[in-house]
Amino acid sequence: MISARGVCVRLGASDILHGVDLTVTDGEVVALLGANGSGKSTLVRSLVGVLPLAAGSVELLGSPLGPSVDWERVGYVPQRVSAQSGVPSTAREVVSSGLLHGRRLRLPRGWRTRTDEALELVGLRDRAQDSTSELSGGQQQRVLIARALVRRPDVMILDEPVAGVDQPSQEAFAATMRRLVSQGLTVLVVLHELGELAPLVTRAVVLRHGQVVHDGAPPAASPGTTTRRTSTSTPTTTTRATTRAPPSTSPTPG
């Protein structure tokens, strides 16, 4: 699904990533971990073509990065930026923009139904007509997730989807991901700690100073092998994972 070889990214005068290899295969849920500034966001942003590669190559769904990629099958959730755009826009409008891609510049027929279905998935169907500025940070993040989901992607790339997000939104997000992963969605997700997603993650990749230092089992199963920051977060990760592992009741979002 995603294949990166020797990716180097240079921003200004500094090398942010040197020679990162990353492969995500069909059906995997890969967590990208690492301290602040280790290059996690830079890596996912270069994987979707937002940042230019200084060296190396990226393939998405078997095609080299560019117009030949089947963008309709890729759902990207960028890190939430708090700055609102200048003109108010409703949750429905923002989500509907996810229906456009390289080969479609106009909204397809039935866009409203599809948009509302995606909002339903993140539990915001009743807020469709509200301006995004009236939503909480967590709800805004869910709108961005719905925008990626609306095109029914086969692979999702998420950049810190739960950072600074309120607890109900985190739980709603985890529930949504559980359902989609069980339906075969492939996921690459940048996380600070595994948190609610721990039971889903099949593999963890840890970045440190722009290089991969760990690629294998999630930190919970291999304590002490990773960087200091992730190993300190491991106990909390495991405890949270075990205490929250059997969430039989599906949380009601919103």
Partner 1 sequence: MIDELVYMLTDPLMQRALIAALLVGLTAPIVGTYLVQRRLSLLGDGIGHVALTGVALGWLVGAAMGLVPQDVLAIPGAVIAAVVGSVAIEIVRSRGRTSGDVALALLFYGGIAGGVLLIGIAGGTQSNLMAYLFGSISTVTGADLVLTVILGVVILAVGLGLRAALFTVSQDEEFAIASGLPVRFLNIAVAVVAALTVTVAMRVVGLLLVSALMIVPVAVAQLVTRSFSRTMLLAAIVGVTVCVTGLSITYWHNWSPGATIVVLAIVVYAVVATVAPAIARGRRRHHHDPHPDIPDDVRVRPESTSVQGAPAAERKGGDDPCSA
Of the candidates 164, 242, 157, 248, the residue with the CA atom closest to the CA atom of residue 198:
242
HSE-up of residue 107 (Cα within 13 Å, Cβ side): 15
Round to whole Å and give the CA distance between 108 and 114: 10
Rg from Cα positions in the chain: 18
Residues of span 41-80 touching partner 1 by CB under 8 A: 45, 48-50, 67, 69, 71, 74, 76, 78
Give yes or no for residue 130 binding partner 1 (CB under 8 A): yes
Q: Single out the residue of 34, 39, 98, 219 in contact with partner 1 (rule: CB under 8 A).
A: 98
Pattern 142-181, partner 1, x by CB under 8 A: --x--x---------x--------xxx-------------
Q: Region of 110 please: left (phi>0), alpha (psi -120 to 50) or beta.
A: left
Give yes or no for residue 229 binding partner 1 (CB under 8 A): no
Q: Single out the residue of 21, 28, 93, 117 in contact with partner 1 (rule: CB under 8 A).
A: 93
Pattern 3-32, partner 1, x by CB under 8 A: ------------------------------
Round to whole Å and give the CA distance between 4 and 207: 14
- Contacts with partner 1 by CB under 8 A: the residue count is 45
Please identify, among the stretches 16-24, 134-142, 174-182, 195-203, the one whose residues bind partner 1 according to the rule CB under 8 A: 134-142
Burial class of residue 81 (count of CB atoms within 10 Å of its CB; 0-12, 13-18, 19+): exposed
Round to whole Å and give the CA distance between 55 and 7: 6
Smallest gap from residue 4 Cβ to partner 1 (A): 15
Round to whole Å and give the CA distance between 195 and 171: 10
List of residues contacting partner 1 (CB under 8 A): 45, 48-50, 67, 69, 71, 74, 76, 78, 85-90, 92-94, 96-103, 105-107, 129-131, 134-139, 144, 147, 157, 166-168
